[in-house]
Every structure is written in C-alpha cells, then in structure tokens.
Amino acid sequence: MNEHNPFALENTLSLLLEGKKYASLRDVLSTMNPSDIAAVFEKLPEDSLPLLFRLLPKGLAAETFVEMQPDNQELLIRGFSDSELRDVLDELYVDDAVDIVEEMPANVVQRILSAAAPDMRKDINNLLNYPENSAGSIMTTEYVSLRTSMTVGDAITHIRRTGVDKETIYTCYVTSERTLVGTVSVKTLLLARDDTEKIVDVMEPNVISVTTQTDKEEVAQMLSKYHFLALPVVDTETRIVGIITFDDAMSVMEEEATEDIEIMGGMTPSDKTYLRSSPFDLFKHRIPWLLLLMVSATFTGMILNIFEEKLTAVLVIFIPMLMDTGGNSGSQSSVTIIRALSLGEIEFRDILRVVWKEVRTAVLCGIVVAVACFGKVMLIDHLIMNNPGVTPLVGLVVCATMVVTICVAKLIGCTLPMIAKKLGFDPAVMASPFITTIVDAVSLLVYFGIATFVLHL
Amino acid sequence: MNEHNPFALENTLSLLLEGKKYASLRDVLSTMNPSDIAAVFEKLPEDSLPLLFRLLPKGLAAETFVEMQPDNQELLIRGFSDSELRDVLDELYVDDAVDIVEEMPANVVQRILSAAAPDMRKDINNLLNYPENSAGSIMTTEYVSLRTSMTVGDAITHIRRTGVDKETIYTCYVTSERTLVGTVSVKTLLLARDDTEKIVDVMEPNVISVTTQTDKEEVAQMLSKYHFLALPVVDTETRIVGIITFDDAMSVMEEEATEDIEIMGGMTPSDKTYLRSSPFDLFKHRIPWLLLLMVSATFTGMILNIFEEKLTAVLVIFIPMLMDTGGNSGSQSSVTIIRALSLGEIEFRDILRVVWKEVRTAVLCGIVVAVACFGKVMLIDHLIMNNPGVTPLVGLVVCATMVVTICVAKLIGCTLPMIAKKLGFDPAVMASPFITTIVDAVSLLVYFGIATFVLHL
C-alpha cells in the first residue's frame, strides 16, 4: 500500500543503482506508478536514465515516458535505437505522441515520424495541423466505435477484441456512416438485462459534442459540468474524428488557471514548472510587464509635475494610501470578473448587469472606507502624529477622493476585462497591474482637483 | 445532436409553459442533460419550478436536483410531500446528498434526514462529521467491492447485480476483511482472456490511496497526476471507507483555483457565482481587505510624515513609479510561488533554492529596469517635461532605489507565502495587496535614505 510519498524510494533506488543491483531495481520500479517513476527519474543522475529506462517492462516504459519532462524525453530518444523508439511509440496513445512531438526539436521530430507506424504517422500529422488550444489539438483518435445494428452482446465482444488499444472503453460512440448518432456506456452494456437488445435501443441519442475548433478551455469546462468521462469531437459534418478524456481536461484546467494567475500577476505565461525555470527564464517572463508598467507610470509622474506647486507635504503623505486603495479596489473587481469570464459564468451581454452590481458595491465600499479613513486621518495623522497641517478639511478632501477613486477603480476593473474579451484579447491581461496604472492616474487627478476646489490652493 | 448552447431552448420552454403544453414540455426536458435543465430552470419564473420539476422522469429529476442552486433546492424541498422527498433522496448518491444537506437550514436538514432511508441517514451523518476540506467530507460510500477469491466471471456477475447504485463501476476495490488489498478495472475484467482467472491474479496490488483526513486539494492533484477515475479513501487501519471520483476532483480543482485567485485579489473567498452574489455579498467579501490595507498604508503615511522636510517636488513625482514597480515585482514573485505551492511543485524545504533563484532573477530585472528608467527619466522628465530639478544625479537616485526595491520586493514576495504555508496559513493571503504595503514602506525608506546620502538633503 503506497501512501502518497513518491520520493520515499529515491534513496533506495539510488543505492541499488550504485550497487548495480539491476534485477532488484527492475522489481522495485515495476511496483511503482508511471507518474512516480518519472518523478524519481528527475532526481537521479541524468546519465543513468537510459539504463534505468531499459529496465522497465515495455508497457510501463511507455507510460513512464509520457510522464517525463521534455528534456529527459529528448535525451532518451537521442539514445534509442530505431527499434527501441518504435517499441515505445507503438505503446503510446496518439494524443500523447502529439504532445511529445510538439516539444521536440525538428530533427528529433523527423526521427519519431519515420519510426512511427504509417497509421500513427498519419494521425500525428493530422492532429498537428489543428490550431493551438483547439479541441482538435488535444483529442485522441483511439476510441471505441459501435454500430446501431449491433446487439449488446456484439458490442461487448467488439470491446473485448479491440479495447486494449483504446484510451477509454467506458464510453463508446455509436456511428452510422461515420456520423455520430449516440453514445453508450459500458455500465449500460453490462447492466443491460438482455444481451440481444440492439445498441440503437440502449444508446443515449442526445449526444453532447464539440467541434475540432472548440477552445480547449471550453471543452474542459463542459467535461466538468456534465461529469463526462470523455467528450466526442466532430467535424463540420458531425462525423466523429476523436475524443477528449477527463484526464486531459484536468490538465487543461490546471494549465489555464495557472496561465490566468500568471497573467493577472503581470507575467507572460510559462510552460515550465518553477523549479525547472532558470532565473533567465523567469526574467524573460517578468521583464516585459515591469518595463511597460514603469513607462506607463510616466503619466502619474506627469500629473505630479503639472500639480508641482500644489504638492504640499500635507497632501503628499496621503498619496500612497489613495493609490493603494484605488489599486486594490480595481483589482478586486477585475480579478472577480476575469475568473467569472474564465468559468463561463458571465458573458459580454451581461455587461450592464455587471456594471450596475459593481457600482452599488463600490458605493457601499466607498462609504465605509471613507468613514474609516476619516477616523484614521483624524486619530493618527492629526492627533498621534500631531501634524498641524492635517485639518478636518484635509481629511474630507482625502475621503471624498477615496469614494470617487473606489468607484472609478471598480468601474474600470469590471469593464476592461469584458471589453478585452469581446475584442478577442485575453481578459486576464487587463488585471491588476494594468488597471493600477490607470487608477493611479485618475486618483491623482481627482485628488488635486478636489483639493484645489475645497482648499483653494 | 446538441452543440453547446444550453439556453437556446429557454424561450421555447417558456412558451410551452405559458401555453400549458405539459406533455410536450416533458418530452423536450427528457431529451436534455441534467446540468442544462438546471441552468434553464434558473432562467424561468421561480413559481413554475415545482411544476416543471414534477414533469421530469424520476431518475432525471434527481440528477437535475443535484445540479440546481441551493436556494432552488430549498424551495423544492419545502414544497415536496414526504414521499416525493424520499423518491428524490433514494436516487441520490450519498456524497451529493451530503453536499445538499450542508447548504440547507436546520429545519430542512431535519426533514431530509427523517425522509432518508436508515442506511443513507447513517452514511450522511458519518460524512458530515469529517472536517471541512478533508477527503472524508467529499467521498462517497457507494463503490464496487470485490473479494480476492472471486473469479473474473464472478466479479462481472457481481458488478451486473450491484452496479446500478454505484457512483462508478469502472474501478473496483478488492478487499480482504475490509482491508484494501488491490484495485481492478472493468477494462481488465472485460479484456481478461479467461473468466475463471482469480481476481487476486489480475488485480493491481499497489494501491494508491488517501486517508479520510487528506486535504481535498491534494486528492484532486493526485487524481490529475495519476489519471485515475477514482481514488480510494482508507481509515487509519487501511480499511476502505469510500471513494472520490474524477468529477468531484474537477470541481475541487476549479473551486480551489477560484479561491486562490480571489484571495490573491484581496478578497475573502465566496461560494456564490458572480451573478448570484448581491452587491452586499460582494461588499462583505471585499471590505475587510480594503480596510486593513488602508490602515496599513498608515506606515507609508508615517514615513512621508517623518521625511516631510525632504519631500521636494522633484522627489515626489517619482514616488508612484517606484511604488508601482515595487508592488508589481513583489506580486510577480508571490503569485508564482503561491501557484507552485498550490500545485505541489515546491515545498518549504525548497526555500533556499527559491530564494537563490529569485535573487538572481531580481538582479537581472533590477538592472534592466533601472537602465530603462534612467533613460526614461532623462528623456521624458528632464528633456520633454523640461523639469530643471531632474538632474542626472536625481535619475541615479531613482534608479538605485529601483534596483534595491525590486530585489527586496522579490525576496519578500517569494519568502512570505512559503513561511505562511509552513505556519499553516493559506499562502494566497500573502499575495499582492499585502506585499504591496510592505514593499511600499521599504521602497520609500530606501528612496529617502539614498536621496539623503547622495543629494545631501
């Protein structure tokens, strides 16, 4: 019984390797799960990888290969003989083979394609042609296909004969002249009272499907929403061309959430895990936004330049608080809206409802923050810090600015991501760092505007 | 064939309802998927809900019930007769029943428990006792259990007899005196060459399991990592007590990502979808951080108070840029680390590797941003805005502050979430808004420190 502790065996394997106990190594590895073997391989010396990999039984070797990082896969492929490469490829599902091919340099791709069986080569090439992020690019062509005229007994026999190479046998797709007309689960087949019932009578005729062009994020959400094991992918004539299974959908969900979070945090998204990213990788993903935002902060600088003679110390001490509160209010709204857009909870047509909701929320937040702020200014800045310039009138200016800033920030925060989506951009790009810059500029303008008016500067 | 467009039928259903065409309504609803029916019900008038629900065939009614929002579920339960309630409960899986019970007020819970069959009532009560977010709280007790001594043929017969009420039949759990000793998939059973083979010979003896106390986020990641349909949950004596299926794991992944994003955006997490949240709901989740951060901005105000006589206009115009760049650098690091912690890519013991990586990244980012910043200051503020106070020496002060601020921000951004996790807090709490406040204070101190030294203020 393995509790979840994939690295407990790392030292044991290392010692067995040093002691050249290959038979025992093989036995130990054979008890492990492919994901865990791949994780342990990451931790062992790179030059022992080809040897370790060759110790694995064939099926386990291929499954482990799929779970490995691209650089280790490349290292192994470069060391494989043609027949070894063919053996691994024969055991792979087409969608996994495509994932690997997409990560390899051109000369390795050539070797893979020439080693693959003709059918698989054709499938790989077909799948490579679908646009990135489309359902076509992540589907597999290995599914169980049944005909309407089969009986339940025929279907079970068919699955037993052909199922071994299919990515899932649990949902079968019923076709009539390649057009998808229904689905039937193995549960239905096994639980059918009568083996002579026709498939057409037990199948579910209302098939929910996606097209090859559907966005993979939408596919993942549909699998999650409907609790399906797999979703069929059809072409423009509703002929089934592949399926996408729940495990691929889970990877997509995880990747898309990570991507959204990275973009919201002001970075360009990265495929590599953190520990595998070099400082230069991290630098490349972070520097564009840092530069852009530094330059865009020029606006706030210009505003302060313009109001130079009004920059009394009393007003300046509240600038950080106003800017931070504005930035926080804006990112609260933008982050909420971006996530709701990602999960398909709202669409562009909801924009008026969203704006109305945010305006009311902003007024509530603005009033409460302003009242608290007035108390804070009078207590801390006026009394405790004993700053004579901080009069109740200054406090009022600060609080009035606060209310306006929060309202503007929430309005910008909710509308920009929706407009971005409508225009075909990733809404996450409109998240906090970008909105902060706009809100900063607006809050300064409002601040000096109100101050000029109220304090007669 | 349904393309993904759940609301296309909304108007049709509405018209059928007005025209009292109940037979047609029933026929149309029967062709739909439970998730889509629940979504359409949300859009139709609330008072027609009991009528519409009673039109659904029994099995579909229960599946739709599970997909509905808690307030609609409550509305229906309050209108149900005892026997109607019992009919719905009989069709539910225990984990779904528990999810519903958790959302209902006490008097409704009482009604549900008294209507449930004694076995289910016991199971519901057991599951309600597991801590929130634990594997025990999301598992179901309806799984297929096989014995080692069965043959493949016996197993298939057993599945056919008992499978109808099980949440999944595709992975079966082999027990010996209730201890979990192996798993076997229906694929293995169906593809076995010989029906008389013993289960003990075809099962996978290396079972990966979780305990009732395992965090549900970890469970979701394990299901995703191992591509499993379901994961068994065991008690302290490795006796199987339940299973968690992939669809529950997908919901957990989605919820946890949303929660992380909300917390990183400076909000307390919410269970409700955006459109179902009232402005007051949104206000409640947003105001605590706004208030906390406004008050914590007192520090920056105090620093500016202290350096009051040094607040020359020339220095002040660069404060927003320095603060924003610092805030952005810090949130880049914190967001990256928080996500890596969430996905289990890094742990506390990696802290030194993380710090070393971030320091090198920070130096790279710092130098590039500082050089660009110097150019910007000289070009825009010195030449174009023609501000005579912005000398090259002032530019140097700003750029030196920039480098230090970026390094400090990245250091704080990467260490705080890891320390938070080690101390048992949610690392996401340490995200951008909180770190921004610290970084703001540090950058101001560094700025005035360097300015005092270099410009002899």
Which CATH number does the domain housing residue B110 bear?
A: 1.25.60.10
Same domain, A14 and A109: yes
CA distance B88 to chain A (A): 19
Nearest to A248 by CA among A219, A213, A208, A209: A219
Looking at residue A1, its pLDDT comes to 39
What's A231's domain CATH number? 3.10.580.10
Name the packing angle between helices A94-103 and A70-79 (round to 10°).
90
Number of structural domains, chain B? 3
B residues 141..160 contacting A (CB < 8 A) = 156, 159-160
- Do A323 and B320 make contact, defined as CB atoms within 8 angstroms? yes
Domain assignment of residue A1, yes or no = no
Sheet with strand B230-234: strands edge to edge: B210-211, B230-234, B240-245
* C-alpha gyration radius of chain B: 30
Tell me whether B300 touches chain A (CB under 8 Å): yes
Which residues does chain B have within 8 Å of residue A294's beta carbon, measured at their own beta carbons? Answer: 321, 324-325, 369, 372-373, 376
Residue where a domain terminates, one of A131, A162, A177: A131
d(CA B265, CA B134): 25
Which residues does chain B have within 8 Å of residue A216's beta carbon, measured at their own beta carbons? Answer: none
- ipTM, two decimals, is 0.81
Return the structure tokens found at A408: 């503007």
B residues 341..400 contacting A (CB < 8 A) = 343, 345-346, 350, 353-354, 357-358, 360-361, 364-365, 368-369, 372-373, 376, 380-381, 385, 387
* Opening angle at CA A150, ends A145 and A154, nearest 5: 90
Tell me whether B272 touches chain A (CB under 8 Å): no
| pLDDT of A372 strictly over 70 | yes
Do residues A213 and A135 touch, judged by C-beta distance below 8 A?
yes
Looking at residue B409, its pLDDT comes to 93
CA of A58: how far to CAs of A64, A90, A144, A233, in Å? 10, 10, 24, 30
Return the structure tokens found at B451: 């300015």
CB contact burial B10-29 (16+ within 10 A = b; e otherwise): eeebeebbeeeeeeebeebb
Same domain, B89 and B14: yes
- Do B289 and A328 make contact, defined as CB atoms within 8 angstroms? yes
CA of B410: how far to CAs of B205, B333, B335, B376, B406, in Å? 46, 6, 11, 23, 6
pLDDT digits (tens, 9 = 90+) for A248-305: 999 999 888 888 888 888 888 888 888 888 899 999 998 988 888 887 788 888 888 8
Strand partners, B244: B231
pLDDT interval class at A3 (50, 70, 90): very low
- Do A320 and B297 make contact, defined as CB atoms within 8 angstroms? yes
Helix (H) or strand (E) segment spanning residue A210 = strand A210-211
Same domain, A85 and A34: yes
pLDDT interval class at A159 (50, 70, 90): very high
Q: What's the whole-number average pLDDT of chain A? A: 88
Do residues B443 and B322 touch, judged by C-beta distance below 8 A?
yes
Nearest to A126 by CA among A143, A109, A141, A111: A141
Length of chain A: 457
Do residues B134 and B126 touch, judged by C-beta distance below 8 A?
no
Average pLDDT for A422-440: 79
By Cβ distance, the residue of A229, A264, A357 closest to B279 is A357
Residue where a domain terminates, one of B74, B108, B132: B132
Looking at residue A243, its pLDDT comes to 94
Same domain, B423 and B306: yes
Do residues A69 and A116 touch, judged by C-beta distance below 8 A?
no
In the block, tokens 């398909």 appear at A344
- Do B320 and A324 make contact, defined as CB atoms within 8 angstroms? no
Residue where a domain terminates, one of A131, A146, A162: A131
Give one word for A456, left, alpha or beta, with left for phi > 0 and alpha for psi -120 to 50.
left
Which residues does chain A have within 8 Å of residue B317's beta carbon, measured at their own beta carbons? Answer: 301, 304-305, 308
Same domain, B341 and B371: yes
In the block, tokens 């043929």 appear at B153
d(CA A231, CA A242): 9
Mutation for testing the A interface, residue in B361, B384, B410 having most A CBs under 10 Å? B361
Do residues A167 and A233 touch, judged by C-beta distance below 8 A?
no
Distance of CA B46 to the CA centre of its chain: 29
By Cβ distance, the residue of B33, B275, B287 closest to A353 is B275
**Strand A179-185 versus strand A168-176 pairing type:** antiparallel
CA distance A125 to chain B (A): 25
Domain assignment of residue A259, yes or no = no
3-state secondary structure chain B: CECCCCCCCHHHHHHHHHCCCHHHHHHHHHCCCHHHHHHHHHHCCHHHHHHHHHHCCHHHHHHHHHHCCHHHHHHHHHHCCHHHHHHHHHHCCHHHHHHHHHHCCHHHHHHHHHHCCHHHHHHHHHHHCCCCCEHHHHCECCEEEEECCCEHHHHHHHHHHHHHHCCEEEEEEEEECCEEEEEEEHHHHHHCCCCCCEHHHHCECCCECEECCCEHHHHHHHHHHHCCCEEEEECCCCEEEEEEEHHHHHHHHHHHHHHHHHHHCCCCCCCCCHHHCCHHHHHHHHHHHHHHHHHHCHHHHHHHHHCHHHCCHHHHCCHHHHHHHHHHHHHHHHHHHHHHHHCCCCCHHHHHHHHHHHHHHHHHHHHHHHHHHHHHHHHHHHHHCCCCCCCHHHHHHHHHHHHHHHHHHHHHHHHHHHHHHHCCCCHHHHCHHHHHHHHHHHHHHHHHHHHHHHHCC
Extract the residue ranges of chain B whose pLDDT is less than 70.
1-8, 431-433
pLDDT digits (tens, 9 = 90+) for A87-123: 888 888 888 888 888 888 888 888 888 888 888 888 8
- Do B301 and A324 make contact, defined as CB atoms within 8 angstroms? no
Same domain, B228 and B330: no
Domain assignment of residue A113, yes or no = yes
Looking at residue A405, its pLDDT comes to 93
Looking at residue B433, its pLDDT comes to 63
Same domain, A364 and A419: yes
Domain assignment of residue A289, yes or no = no
| pLDDT of A2 strictly over 50 | no
- Do B300 and A320 make contact, defined as CB atoms within 8 angstroms? yes
Instruction: DSSP for A276-288, please give it.
Output: GS-HHHHHHHHHH
**Predicted model pTM:** 0.82
Same domain, B206 and B330: no
Which residues does chain B have within 8 Å of residue A273's beta carbon, measured at their own beta carbons? Answer: 340, 343, 345
Which residues does chain B have within 8 Å of residue A31's beta carbon, measured at their own beta carbons? Answer: 206
* Opening angle at CA A231, ends B203 and B217, nearest 5: 65
Interacting residues of A356 by C-beta distance below 8 A, sequence separation 6+: none
* C-alpha gyration radius of chain A: 30
By Cβ distance, the residue of B32, B301, B368 closest to A317 is B301
Sheet with strand A230-234: strands edge to edge: A210-211, A230-234, A240-245
Return the structure tokens found at B88: 């719905």
By Cβ distance, the residue of B238, B254, B302 closest to A385 is B302
What's A431's domain CATH number? 1.10.357.20
Return the structure tokens found at A226: 């409907």
Q: Quick one: what percent of chain A has pLDDT higher than 70?
A: 98
Domain assignment of residue A378, yes or no = yes
Q: Is A408 strand, coil or helix?
A: helix
Looking at residue B120, its pLDDT comes to 86
Helix (H) or strand (E) segment spanning residue A172 = strand A168-176
Which residues does chain A have within 8 Å of residue B320's beta carbon, measured at their own beta carbons? Answer: 297, 300-301, 304, 319, 323, 440, 444
By Cβ distance, the residue of B2, B224, B369 closest to A290 is B369
- Do B343 and A254 make contact, defined as CB atoms within 8 angstroms? yes
d(CA B59, CA B63): 6
CA of B322: how far to CAs of A415, A431, B229, B430, B445, in Å? 27, 19, 50, 21, 11
pLDDT digits (tens, 9 = 90+) for A47-58: 888 999 999 988
| pLDDT of A374 strictly over 90 | yes
B residues 78..137 contacting A (CB < 8 A) = none
The more confidently predicted of residues A307 and B416 is: B416
- Do B336 and A387 make contact, defined as CB atoms within 8 angstroms? no
Minimal Cα distance from A434: which residue of B? B328
- Do A266 and B300 make contact, defined as CB atoms within 8 angstroms? no
CA distance B200 to chain A (A): 15
d(CA B382, CA B390): 5
Chain A, chain B: beta-carbon pairs less than 8 Å apart:
385
CA distance A121 to chain B (A): 25
- Domain encompassing residue B103: 10-132
Minimal Cα distance from B260: which residue of A? A261
d(CA B75, CA B70): 9
Q: Is A132 strand, coil or helix?
A: coil
Indicate the residue type of B252: V
CA distance A132 to chain B (A): 20
Alpha helix locations (H) across A199-278?
199-202, 216-226, 246-264
Nearest to A248 by CA among A91, A137, A164, A131: A137
Looking at residue B432, its pLDDT comes to 61
- Do B282 and A336 make contact, defined as CB atoms within 8 angstroms? yes
pLDDT digits (tens, 9 = 90+) for A24-65: 888 888 888 898 899 888 888 888 889 999 999 888 998 999
Do residues A253 and A342 touch, judged by C-beta distance below 8 A?
no
Burial of residue A19 (CB within 10 Å: 0-12, 13-18, 19+) is exposed
CA of B377: how far to CAs of A40, A143, A304, B317, B397, in Å? 51, 62, 14, 11, 11
d(CA A209, CA A180): 9
Domain assignment of residue B1, yes or no = no
pLDDT interval class at A246 (50, 70, 90): very high
Domain assignment of residue B277, yes or no = no
Same domain, A324 and A431: yes
Length of chain B: 457
Tell me whether B188 touches chain A (CB under 8 Å): no
Domain assignment of residue B251, yes or no = no
d(CA A409, CA A167): 49
Same domain, B449 and B304: yes
Same domain, A351 and A392: yes
Neighbours of B276 (CB within 10 A): 14
Looking at residue B174, its pLDDT comes to 95
Looking at residue A189, its pLDDT comes to 92
Same domain, B39 and B70: yes
